[in-house]
């Protein structure tokens, strides 16, 4: 599961979010590009295509390179390709490096591309708490130095991963070449009413995650999660990413991820702390909105915020459509971070754009890469 929010539009189209919008920081230099990537099938053909696009995903079934980071954390990193600026991927909440199994190898064809597991997640060791985005960004920065991965960096953040990606860009601006925010959380810039509703939902959800954590720690049978519309019951261990098994991955990778989810208590502790720190992160990001100058920023918006699989069960509900509209408006506020910013719409995608529309993610990264050079 992943949480997200949105930006700044001027008109609403026939889909849950507006069509094309324009948002300019202080000059008329920035344009909002609406990308309508056709209503492609989200069934068997797409799944087969994604499987073909993620060859060699077995690399994520085992640790890559364990790197020392700040405060004693030890982070698991997967790097491939060569070139500069390097692209660094930040995963969503309850996700880790395999979320980029489709996109990362494609980016590595023309530059260095690195994904990693945040402290506690995947094959990384546990890190100190609280797990704020500042701590996460500091750990990533120190791990990149330990691994001798040279900047500047293009930060790519999906969902919650957008928070530490933006934090990194604020703390280490001189080492940041650009930003790509992929259906990223925007709770710090959304209306107060939505933020308050998010906090209430988080509190309820955290109770469930803690129950899962305690069951694993005590070696008790894992509780069943509340059913999703049209989907079978799942155990606690199947809640990660957008639900395990993931059809975009090989059986081997699904099995390895499920094993981690069934056995690694530290991973639950890390994700609980990350969500608990969301209000702190929001305040910090509201107080730190460093202008990135001409560094390219690309914002990918789906209009399916918090939706893991299409079609969304409540897609035609007016209240849901308004929510998605407000999220898209909130995400557009990030266009003020740079004089070279654009918002790209991928309405035929769930919040997991890296699975459903990997070409859009790769294209946005490539554009930032080319312009940053």
pLDDT in tens, 48-74: 444 444 668 999 999 999 999 999 999
Tens of pLDDT, residues 122-178: 999 999 999 999 999 999 999 999 999 999 999 999 999 999 999 999 999 999 999
137: alpha, beta or left? (left if phi > 0; alpha if psi -120 to 50): alpha
Give me the sign of the Cα torsion angle 226, 232, 236, 242: negative
Predicted structure pTM score? 0.87
Instruction: Examine the pLDDT at 20 and tell me if it is beyond 70.
Output: no
The pair phi, psi for residue 246, each rounded to 5°, is: -100, 125
Residue-number span of the structural domain to which 98 is assigned: 1-373
Cα three-residue angle 29-32-38, rounded to 5 degrees: 150
Distance, CA of 98 to CA of 302 (rounded, Å): 21
Task: Kindly list the strands in the beta sheet with 113-117, ordered across the sheet, starting from the edge strand earlier in the chain.
Answer: 65-68, 74-80, 113-117, 86-90, 153-158, 176-182, 297-301, 341-345
pLDDT of 16 over the 50 cut: no
If one counts the domains in the chain, the total is 1
Give DSSP secondary structure letters for 179-220.
Answer: EEEES---TTTS-HHHHHHHHHHHHHHHHHHHHHHHHHHTTP
Is the separation of the CB atoms in 135 and 273 below 8 Å?
A: no
Cβ-contact 74, 68 below 8 angstroms: yes
What span, in angstroms and rounded, lies between the C-alpha atoms of 28 and 341?
Answer: 11
CATH number at residue 30: 3.40.50.1820
């Amino acid at each position: 599961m992943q949480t997200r929010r949105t930006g700044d539009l001027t008109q609403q189209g026939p889909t849950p979010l507006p069509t094309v919008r324009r948002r300019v920081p202080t000059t008329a230099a920035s344009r909002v590009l609406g990308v309508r990537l056709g209503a492609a099938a989200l069934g068997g053909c797409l799944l087969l295509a994604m499987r073909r696009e993620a060859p060699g995903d077995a690399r994520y079934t085992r640790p890559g390179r364990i790197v020392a980071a700040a405060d004693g954390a030890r982070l698991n990193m997967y790097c491939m390709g060569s070139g500069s600026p390097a692209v660094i991927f930040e995963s969503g909440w309850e996700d880790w490096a395999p979320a980029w199994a489709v996109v990362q190898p494609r980016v590595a064809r023309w530059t260095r591309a690195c994904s990693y597991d945040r402290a506690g997640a995947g094959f990384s060791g546990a890190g100190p708490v609280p797990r704020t985005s500042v701590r996460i960004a500091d750990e990533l920065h120190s791990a990149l130095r330990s691994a001798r991965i040279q900047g500047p960096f293009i930060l790519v953040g999906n969902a919650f991963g957008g928070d530490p990606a933006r934090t990194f860009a604020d703390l280490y601006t001189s080492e940041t070449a650009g930003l790509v925010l992929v259906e990223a959380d925007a709770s710090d810039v959304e209306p107060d009413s939505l933020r308050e509703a998010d906090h209430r939902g988080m509190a309820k959800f955290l109770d469930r995650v803690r129950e899962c954590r305690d069951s694993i720690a005590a070696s008790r049978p894992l509780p069943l999660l509340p059913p999703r519309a049209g989907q079978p019951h799942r155990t606690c261990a199947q809640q990660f990413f957008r639900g395990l098994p993931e059809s975009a991955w090989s059986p081997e990778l699904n099995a390895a991820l499920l094993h981690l989810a069934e056995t690694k208590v530290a991973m639950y502790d890390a994700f609980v702390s990350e969500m608990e720190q969301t209000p702190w992160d929001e305040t910090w990001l509201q107080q730190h909105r460093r202008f990135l100058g001409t560094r390219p920023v690309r914002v990918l918006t789906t209009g399916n915020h918090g939706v893991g699989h299409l079609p969304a069960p409540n897609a035609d509900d007016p209240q849901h459509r308004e929510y998605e509209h407000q999220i898209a408006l909130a995400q557009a506020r990030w266009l003020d971070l740079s004089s070279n910013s654009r918002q790209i719409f991928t309405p035929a995608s769930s919040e997991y754009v890296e699975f459903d529309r990997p070409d859009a993610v790769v294209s946005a990264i490539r554009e930032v890469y080319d312009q940053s050079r």
